[in-house]
Structure 1
Amino acid sequence: MNIKRVRRIAAPLVAGALALGALSGTGEARTATPQPARWTAAWGASPQLPSTGFTPNWSQEGFSHQSVRQVVRVTQGGERVRIRLSNAYGTSPLKVTGATVARARKGGGPSVEAGSVRHLTFGGKRSVEVPARGELRSDAVGLRLARLEPVTVTLYFAGTTGPATFHSQGWTDTYRAEGDRRGDVSGAGFRAKTQSWYYLSGVEVSGGRGGGRGDGGVVVFGDSITDGFGSTPNTDRRYSDVLAERTGRPVVNQGIGGNLVLNDSAWYGERGTARFARDVLDQPGASTVVILEGLNDIGFSETDRQPTYKPAPVVSSGELINGYREMIRLARGKGLRVVGATLLPLKGSDHWGTRAARVSDEVNEWIRGSGEFDAVVDLDRVMADAGDRDRLDPAYDFGDALHPNDAGYRAMAEAVAAVL
C-alpha cells in the first residue's frame, strides 16, 4: 500500500540574527549564517488501520466535539518541541481544531503542570487539515523538557473525525473529554480512558539540555515484543524504555503488536518491509535500528484458535531472510547502523509447532552467522530457559510462553545496550 505523506516542517530556527564577532577586511561586521534547528525524534508510535485489535479502543468510532489527551515519555530533552500527526489510514481530511502540549504532572493521570500548556500551530495557524493518507508536523514551540519526562499532547476535534488512525497497544492511559479541554490543567474533564494512541505518531525536540549521548538515536522495530505486550501498563517498562534509561540515547519504539515482516494484516498493521521507510527512515536524529521481528510470520499458521491471525500463509526461512535483507538494504541506504536480534524461544506458546521450531532455528542461525548485520544481539540465548533452550525462561515469561514480563524486558534491554 502506498501512503501519500504530506509534511509541513517548521521554519528553520535561527541560532542568532547577527554576530558582531570578527570584522572583515573592509571593517564591516559580518552577519552570522542562520543555522537550521537540529531535531531529534524523542518518542514515536507506528500508525495502524482502525480496528478492534487486542484491546478496546476508540479507533473505529473516532471523535466528535471531543478532546483527546495523550501521555508520552520523551527519551530526549530540549528547549523546543513539535509533534507529528498521522492520518495514514483516513479516507478524508482530518480536521484538527487545535492542539496543545504540556508537561504532565507527577503522579500520573490527565493533569498537567500549571503554566506549561503551549498551543501548537501548523503553518502559523492553530487549526489544520491533515490530508487523507497524509501526515504533517506542527510548528515548533518553546517548552523546556527533560529527558525521560512525561509530556501530554491534547487534540481537540470540533467536528466529527470518522474512524481514527491510531496505535493499538499504548500500554499507557489516554483520556477523552467532551468539548474543548485543550487548556484543562486539572484534567477533571477527562473522564473516559483507553490504552491506545490516536493520530499522534511522533514527538520531536531540539535545542540544548538534552542530556543524551551524542552518537545518535535508536529506533527499535518489530512486533508485540518490541511494542511491550506483557509489560506493566503506565510504568514505562517496555524494553525500549529500559534501553533509553541504560544508554542515555533517544529511543523511538516502532513496534506493532501482531505485526509481520512479509504480510499485511487488518488488525496488526502493514507488513514490516512496507512500513519500514515511514517508521524507521523518517526519524530525525536516528543513527541505529534494531530489528526484532518474524515470530508472527512463523507462528500464525500454527493455530486455528485466533481468527485475527488470518490469513496466515506458511512462510519459509528463506522468504523471511529475504525480508530482513530488504530492511537492511533500506537502512543502509540512509546510513543507519543495523542491529539484528535473534527471535525469542516460543515453545509452549500458540505459535509453537514442529515447522515453526525448525524455521525459527534456521532464521536465528542466519542472523547469528550471516555477517549481514552490523551487530547481532542473541536474544534467543539470553531469554531461554537453561533446562529447555526452546522455551522462554520462566523468570522472564509474562504467562503465555511467548511474551516477556518486566524482568524479561529489562534483560532484553541490557543485552541490546551491550551491542550499541
Structure 2
Amino acid sequence: MPRTARPRRRAALAALSCCVALGCGTGTPPGGRPDPPTGPEYGVVTWATTADRVGEAVEGRSYRLMVHTSVGGGGLRVRLSNAFGDRPVTFEDVHAGLRRDGAALVPGSNRRLTFDGARTVTVPPGGIVYSDPLPGHVPAASTLAVSFHVARAGGPLTGHWMAMQTSYTSDGEHSAEESATHWTQRTGSWFYLDAVTVRPRGKTGAVAVLGDSITDGWHSTTDTDRRWPDYLARRLAKDPAAAVKGVANEGLSGNRVLTDGPGQSALNRLSRDVLSLPGVRTVFMFQGVNDLKGEPAPTAGELVAGYKTLAERAHAAGKCVVGATIAPYKGWPEWDPEGEAVRREVNAFVRGGGTFDAVADFDRVLRSPYDHERLLPAFDGGDHVHPNDKGMQAMADAVDLRSLDCGSGW
C-alpha cells in the first residue's frame, strides 16, 4: 500500500540457554535468492518481517527489538540480515528474553545466543545468519525481546521501517541487562532482525503473507498486535485442528507486485522474504493496489501475469498458494475510474482464474454495500484505503483456515 506520513511464561523463557553450534546461513546480494539451510532442525517461522533499506548503519549502537510470536516451540533461533548492506556487519552479545513491560524483561529470562558457538558473528554484504538453537520452550503469543550490539557497521542499514511496535535502542553495550535503565531511546522500526524460528510439537507449518502496508498494519493500533495477520494467528492458535500455526507477516509499505518502488517488488523479494523461511507451507498473496496507482499503471493482463508468476514460483517450491482480491480504495487521492476498472478485472481473475489453491475475497469483506468502490465506513482507518482494527479483524475472520494447508506434492 502507499506510504503515508509516516508465573508460566516467566519460567518458559527462563529455561532458554545456549546450545551447541550449528552454523551460519549464507546469502546473496539484494534481489538475489538467499540459500540458507531450512531443514527440520530449523523448525518453523514464528515471526518474520520484510527486509528493506532503512537508512545508514551506525556502529556502537545496541538494539532491543520487540516481536510477537505466533507458534510456540523449542530450539529458538533468530535470523539476522544484512541483505541491503554493502559492507560486513559485526554483531555481538545477542540475547533473547521475554518482555515484562516497556524495555524491561522478565527477570531470569534473558539468555545469550551464539553463532557456531561464538558470541560474535560477522554477516557479509547481502548475507543472513541464523543463531544456534536455544533449548527450552518459547510460548505462543509471547512478546520476545531480541537484543544485540552492533560492533562494526557502515553503509546501508537493513531493517523494516513500519513495525507498528515500539522497540528500543541504546548507545553502548547493554544487551545482557534485563532492566530498562539504559534503553531510553524508542524506535518504531526493526533493524537487522528479520525472522525468529522455533521447533513446535507435531507436524506444524506456517503461512507467509506477501503484502503491502495493509498487511504491514498501517492504521491498526500500535503496540497491540492488531494487524490482520495477528488476528489470523490468534484464530489459528485457538483451532485444535489447524496444522498451520506459524504466521510470517511479509507486508511492506508501498510495495508493488511488478516494479520496485518503496522496497523491492513482490516478484523480486519472494525468494528471500517468503520461500527461504523455515516451515512455510502456504504463501498468502494480497497485493496490487499500489500497482494500480503507478505511473504508468499496468493493464489488468500485466498484473495478472505477475500474479501467475508468483503463484508458479511458490508452487514450484512446494507451497500452497492463497490469493486475495484487491480491496476498494475510492476516496484515496490517486483513485480513478481507469484503475477501478483494472481492479475489478483483476479481482474477477483471482476469484475464477484457477491460479490459486484458495481465495480470500477481501474486496467483498471490506467494501460498502452502498458503494462497492469504497471501504465500509466502519472499517475505514480514515484514509479510505487502510482498514482500522475492526477491518483488520474482519479480514482475518474471512480466511478459511482449512485453505491454509492444501497439502504438498506440487
Q: Could you tell me the TM-score, scaled by structure 2's length?
A: 0.86
Alignment correspondent of 2:258: 262
Q: Which among 222, 226, 251 is matched to residue 233 of structure 1? A: 222
Contact 1:95/1:161, CA 8 A, preserved across alignment: no
Q: Which among 172, 180, 189 is matched to residue 187 of structure 1? A: 180
CA RMSD of aligned residues (A): 1.7
Greater RCO between the two (CA within 8 Å, min separation 6)? 2
Q: Which among 178, 202, 210 is matched to residue 221 of structure 1? A: 210
Q: What is the deviation of 1:235?
A: 0.3
1:79 is the counterpart of 2:63: no
Contact 2:34/2:276, CA 8 A, preserved across alignment: no
Contact 1:215/1:287, CA 8 A, preserved across alignment: no
Contact 1:6/1:135, CA 8 A, preserved across alignment: no
Q: What is the deviation of 1:160?
A: 4.2
Q: Which among 375, 385, 392 is matched to residue 409 of structure 1? A: 392
Describe the SS at the equivalent of 1:83. strand
Alignment correspondent of 1:43: 47
Alignment of 1:49-128 (within 5 A): 49-50=53-54, 59-60=55-56, 62-105=57-100, 108-128=101-121
Q: What is the deviation of 1:289?
A: 1.3
Alignment of 1:9-408 (within 5 A): 37=41, 39-50=43-54, 59-60=55-56, 62-105=57-100, 108-208=101-201, 214=203, 216-248=205-237, 249-265=245-261, 268-300=262-294, 312-408=295-391
Q: What is the deviation of 1:142?
A: 2.1
Partner deviation per Cα, 1:325-371 (whole Å, 9 max, x = no partner):
11100111121111110000111112310111111011001101111
Q: What is the deviation of 1:207?
A: 4.8
**Is the alpha carbon distance of 1:164 and 1:177 closer, same or farther for their aligned partners in structure 2, counting shifts above 3 Å?**
same
How far apart are the structure 2 equivalents of 1:259 and 1:128?
31
**Is the alpha carbon distance of 1:260 and 1:207 closer, same or farther for their aligned partners in structure 2, counting shifts above 3 Å?**
closer
Describe the SS at the equivalent of 2:60. strand
How far apart are the structure 2 equivalents of 1:276 and 1:222?
11
Q: Which structure would you say has the larger Rg?
A: 1
Alignment correspondent of 1:3: 32
Q: What is the deviation of 1:4?
A: 6.4
Percent identity (aligned): 38
How far apart are the structure 1 equivalents of 2:247 and 2:334?
29
Partner deviation per Cα, 1:96-134 (whole Å, 9 max, x = no partner):
1231111111xx311111111111111111111101011
Describe the SS at the equivalent of 1:319. helix
Contact 1:37/1:207, CA 8 A, preserved across alignment: no
Describe the SS at the equivalent of 2:349. helix
Alignment coverage as a number of residue pairs: 367
Q: What is the deviation of 1:6?
A: 6.4
**Is the alpha carbon distance of 1:375 and 1:384 closer, same or farther for their aligned partners in structure 2, counting shifts above 3 Å?**
same
**Is the alpha carbon distance of 1:8 and 1:110 closer, same or farther for their aligned partners in structure 2, counting shifts above 3 Å?**
farther
**Is the alpha carbon distance of 1:161 and 1:121 closer, same or farther for their aligned partners in structure 2, counting shifts above 3 Å?**
farther
| Structure 1: runs of 5 or more not aligned | 13-35, 51-58, 301-311
Which has the larger displacement, 228-237 or 63-72?
Answer: 63-72
